[in-house]
Structure 1
Amino acid sequence: MSHSTPMATTESGHPTMVTPTPRSSMTFTNNTTPPLVPLPRDAAALQREITRDEKLISRYGGDDVHEPESKAPVPEPAPPTPPAPPRDPNMVVWDGPDDPANPQNWSVAYKWFLTAMCMLMCVNVTFASSAPASASGRIIAEFGISPEVSYLVTTTFLLGYCFGPLFWGPGSELIGRRNIFVLSMFMYTIFILGQALAKNIETLLVTRFISGFFACAPLTNSGGVIADIWDAKGRGLAVSLFTASVFLGPVLGPIVAGFIAHSSTTWRWVFWVMMIFAGACSICVFFVPETYAPVLLLRKAKRMRKEDPVANKEIFAEHEKQDWSPKGIAKRTVLRPFAMLAMEPILVLVTLYLSLVYGLLYALFQAIPVIFIQHKHFNIAETGLIFIGVGIGTSLGSAINLWTSRIYPKLIVKWRGFPPPENRLISAMIGSPVLVVGCFWLGWTGQYESVHWAVPAVSTIFVGAGISLIFMGFLSYLVDTYLMFSASALAANTVVRSAVAAAFPLFTVQMFHNLGVNWACTLIGLLMLLFVPAPFLFYKYGPKIRSKSKFAPCIDLKIAAAIKAEENALSEKNTKLSV
């Protein structure tokens, strides 16, 4: 699923939002603090705990956390921070804040170039997820299969999205983002060739699954690249545009493939176009450098040891000190996401909601042809153009999300880099009722031939905007809630929602035929209506739920408690002096 919705690097198959910047020296007024959890009143002890959490985030979530460029003066100093333990002089770090090797210090023009490359790759792989759906009629005719089997062309690709994030997200943190990009884009392109030349449905489905397995890598890691190169102030617009591009691909698929399927050419040209597009993106990926800071510092350490083996034999990078045993890697990658899914109520509820919303997006690829071909008498090419409304909606959603997040830089200052995650839910509060309206509108205007086709077509704008706003709000909420564990949280979320989305195309057409367009959309709308209170309830009760989490660091609550304890101590001191 921006704004300012930052994205993080994830083990997930979709765009992920990034965490805010680390604490600065700012203080905040007490009237803006969230509900406080019972914490010790010792301000110094609290401050030490906050410092410890920030160090953990810097170590394990360093690709998502960056020091702000400037710090405005404030009237009051922050509570005193105990001195950090001395750093090992043999550990390699950047050569000062202006080190040109640090991706944060690259030029703005070059950062936008890399952002555009990431957006292009994501448009490409999401385009491939939806494009073949428009050619299903011809695939059925050539292979002699049932319509239900043809729906597997979309489903198997999405099943690849379920497994890929568990490898490509962690892989980028082990060997670097660029290596994963090069490997995955090459393999993804090669297996499209197998789809274009498939002589039977079995070959087509197997190559679709493998292609989807590799295709999710750009979705998993592009958000991390953006987090690597942009600071918090410049990241908002980049992430908003990136998020829009993630939803643009599935929208373009039916539009382009619809015209190919409607022409006299073979359906295989859908896959040839996909391969040409993928090949161009595979060439572009060679212009994307490594951006992951721990891997860059590891290379620096190796280079220093090679240049002077004697003097630099003790030099090391922190990345080398991780647990690289199979058990250690598995614990950090495959096992942790499912452990969190079993223990975290916030993650479970958000994952359930986003799974239904994501499933709805892919159900549209089956439902819109039913509405506009059978009830509005469009051809397949004209039906593809209806998806333009969904694209307009997702783009509007990104713009609205950016607008709702305009005050976030001030919150970062006020909360010393860690505002309450609940501030990210404003977009979802807008998007959840908008999506319900869009579902009912689409169903009850799409059912009847007497209603002009433009009326249900406009409803797709509301559906697209609702999906986009819900995704950006909740994904960024998960990132800000779990911070250094956000990659694992998003990996669990992506695996589950991709599995649900893979199932939706299998029953969507039957549901719309048996229930009718009006009642099928009503059923979907009622399911979405059940979750409308979710962002509002999380906004109110989120701090209390987070305080009981084993994975959420809750730094905002600790900062608030530390300030409160400091104020109480000062008040008690003043009371004693007055007595």
Structure 2
Amino acid sequence: MSNQSPIKHVVISRFTIRPPVENDPRLLSSRTKALIIVILAMCAASSGFSSTIYFPGIPDITVDLNAPPIATTLTAALFILFMGIAPVFWASFSDYYRIRRFLFILSMAIFGLASLGAALVTNIWGLVVLRCVQALGASCGQSVGAGVIADCYPIERRGAAFGKYFFGVFFGPLIGPILGGFLIMSDLKWRATFLFCFAFAFTVVLLITFTYPETYRENEKWDTSLPITTTSDSYKNEKQQQTATKNNNDNGSESTRISLEQEPDNVSTNSKQSRTIAASSNIDPAFSKNNNDNNNEDAIEIKKKKTLNPIKPFLYLRHPHVLLASLVTAVAFGSMFAVETIIPDLFESNYGFVPWQTGLSYLGAGVGNLCGAFINTFLSDRLLLRARAKRGGHALVEDRIGINVWPCGFILMPFGLLLFGWGIGTGMSYWTGIIGFGIQNFGMNQIMTALSAYLVDSAPGIGASFTAAANFLRMITACALTLAANPMVKAIGPGYTCVFLAALTYISMGLLVILKIYGGRMRRYSGY
């Protein structure tokens, strides 16, 4: 790159699909990383606020487009469904082509064009289709974004980064109705909400194009790799030296990878295979895939040609630790979305709120989310390092499930749900609903952030795919609860509806206890 002119360098880095990554992304300046997190949060927030920004205008949509109730419900439910399916494909493309930046640009362009179409549509079923396309574009940030954080931050510093990133993920659905409540007061009414989405997407595309660097980190390139040619005997000596080096570097923080890929013809077949010895004093051995077959062979890393398989991330749910973490986050996120869906009808029928007042009723959840993100940013990495220190410097992925998640899951989230449901159902002040939803979001933020970091830490190099698999289950659950929430409220009332959601929360926390205790065994069983 040094022989290129500055203009050519700018063109290659800004206007090519896969610009070269010239330096280790983990060595980027703090300022650049902060910019990356901000843009990631904006991409992730696009799905959240676009899913709810038009909620205050649903009555106007029904009238203007002569829409049956099922059609307006589908604009929300199918959006969530596609938000669960599409990230799996984005993650597969990212891992296969080893790109991040171009996918963000492409996805936000799709999101922007679909938003513009939704603002101009004159048919409710056209709006349903465009909402699905909008979800396709907005979904990239939630799966590929987790991979970017793994690119830029070592394990010990990912907790704080995830806290900031997920503030955008969770704040989006809550700020959406507030924005929508004011936007529909304009002459354009509900169409103004989709024009705002278009302007937002256009702004993000410009930011990514001119300020955002490519961050895909090839671990085999940036982790020290030394090819060594040796004989069978010298290989044994080399292995002994590496073992000694490993024991003498208990305070080291960088992983040294030594690949033995070429050996003379007189070496046995087993010795000729590509071997990887990972020497790290503070990295959980489960971070590297364990391929031992109980035959005393050394860990063997065989490089295979990558194939593009968009279905593969779905299959990661077969691993018990991925499934359990995904189920816990699915219940937490789905419960939040269910409450969010029933707020407009409840506040309008019980308190006579007009659209802009309904939008403001989401502020409590926004404050709870903000506080949760702040607390998690402060605690996550500290609790991780504390657990590691108690173990003599040895790390476990399950350290991410820190002490802060237990009161959030067993006390705060159920209490917030019950306060919301029974406060409104018994005719108490609307502040009970606002505060209850805020408490629920405070707890949800910390659980979601901890488990998202856990999934990325448990699978170095394919964190985006693990996150996409979890996101799929999360959105499927949110879709189901969204469809069921309003009928349940009409059938059994808001109080018992929230009792049902609180019961689901307790069941999910039981699964989290199992993951905390047996997560290591589950990962070893799955080969991670």
Give the TM bin, normalised by the shorter chain: 0.7 to 0.9
Which of 271, 275, 295 is the equivalent residue of 2:194? 271
* CA distance 1:218–1:537, change in 2 (3 Å): closer
The worse-fitting range, judged by mean Cα deviation, of 387-396 and 236-245 is: 236-245
Looking at structure 2, the residues matched to 203 and 435 of structure 1 have their Cα atoms a distance apart, in angstroms, of: 37
Indicate the SS of the match to 2:526.
Answer: coil
The worse-fitting range, judged by mean Cα deviation, of 284-293 and 260-269 is: 260-269
Which of 291, 299, 310 is the equivalent residue of 2:215? 291
Indicate the SS of the match to 2:477.
Answer: helix
Residue aligning to 1:445:
423
Which of 295, 303, 326 is the equivalent residue of 1:351? 326
Looking at structure 2, the residues matched to 429 and 133 of structure 1 have their Cα atoms a distance apart, in angstroms, of: 33
**Deviations along 1:167-209, whole A, 9 cap, x unmatched?**
2112223141111112111121111111111110121111111
Question: Percent identity of the aligned residues?
Answer: 26
Which of 398, 402, 414 is the equivalent residue of 1:436? 414
Residue aligning to 2:54:
132
Aligned pairs (5 A) from 1:180-579: 180-262=103-185, 265-286=188-209, 287-294=211-218, 323-324=305-306, 328-330=307-309, 333-335=310-312, 337-342=313-318, 344-405=319-380, 406-412=382-388, 419-426=395-402, 427-433=404-410, 434-449=412-427, 451-483=428-460, 486-547=463-524, 549-552=525-528
Indicate the SS of the match to 2:492.
Answer: helix
Looking at structure 1, the residues matched to 142 and 389 of structure 2 have their Cα atoms a distance apart, in angstroms, of: 30
Contact 1:135–1:258 (CA under 8 A) maintained in structure 2: yes
Contact 2:142–2:468 (CA under 8 A) maintained in structure 1: no
Question: What letter is aligned with 2:215?
Answer: T
Per-residue deviation at 1:248?
A: 1.0
The answer to which structure, 1 or 2, has the higher relative contact order (CA under 8 A, 6+ apart) is 1
Indicate the SS of the match to 1:532.
Answer: helix
Contact 1:122–1:219 (CA under 8 A) maintained in structure 2: yes
Looking at structure 2, the residues matched to 178 and 480 of structure 1 have their Cα atoms a distance apart, in angstroms, of: 22
Looking at structure 2, the residues matched to 463 and 444 of structure 1 have their Cα atoms a distance apart, in angstroms, of: 14
Per-residue deviation at 1:138?
A: 0.8
Per-residue deviation at 1:340?
A: 3.2
Question: What letter is aligned with 1:520?
Answer: T
* CA distance 1:103–1:350, change in 2 (3 Å): closer
Contact 1:393–1:462 (CA under 8 A) maintained in structure 2: yes
Which of 96, 102, 106 is the equivalent residue of 2:28? 106
Unaligned residue ranges in structure 1 (runs of 5+): 1-93, 299-320, 553-579
Per-residue deviation at 1:102?
A: 2.2
Looking at structure 1, the residues matched to 108 and 392 of structure 2 have their Cα atoms a distance apart, in angstroms, of: 39
Looking at structure 2, the residues matched to 259 and 206 of structure 1 have their Cα atoms a distance apart, in angstroms, of: 25
Per-residue deviation at 1:445?
A: 0.6
Looking at structure 1, the residues matched to 148 and 462 of structure 2 have their Cα atoms a distance apart, in angstroms, of: 18
Residue aligning to 1:10:
none
Looking at structure 2, the residues matched to 345 and 231 of structure 1 have their Cα atoms a distance apart, in angstroms, of: 25
Looking at structure 1, the residues matched to 518 and 492 of structure 2 have their Cα atoms a distance apart, in angstroms, of: 38
Contact 2:388–2:395 (CA under 8 A) maintained in structure 1: yes
* CA distance 1:403–1:125, change in 2 (3 Å): same
Contact 1:428–1:472 (CA under 8 A) maintained in structure 2: no
Computed over aligned residues only, the root mean square deviation of the Cα atoms, in angstroms, reads: 2.7
Indicate the SS of the match to 2:215.
Answer: coil
* CA distance 1:410–1:436, change in 2 (3 Å): closer
Normalising by the residue count of structure 2, what TM-score does the alignment of the two structures yield? 0.74
Contact 2:98–2:216 (CA under 8 A) maintained in structure 1: no
Question: What letter is aligned with 1:446?
Answer: I
Looking at structure 2, the residues matched to 297 and 233 of structure 1 have their Cα atoms a distance apart, in angstroms, of: 21
How many residues are treated as equivalent by the alignment? 424
Contact 1:353–1:531 (CA under 8 A) maintained in structure 2: yes
Looking at structure 2, the residues matched to 240 and 189 of structure 1 have their Cα atoms a distance apart, in angstroms, of: 26
* CA distance 1:295–1:139, change in 2 (3 Å): farther
Contact 2:107–2:138 (CA under 8 A) maintained in structure 1: yes
Contact 1:140–1:147 (CA under 8 A) maintained in structure 2: yes
Looking at structure 2, the residues matched to 118 and 296 of structure 1 have their Cα atoms a distance apart, in angstroms, of: 25
Question: What letter is aligned with 1:396?
Answer: C
Unaligned residue ranges in structure 2 (runs of 5+): 1-19, 223-302
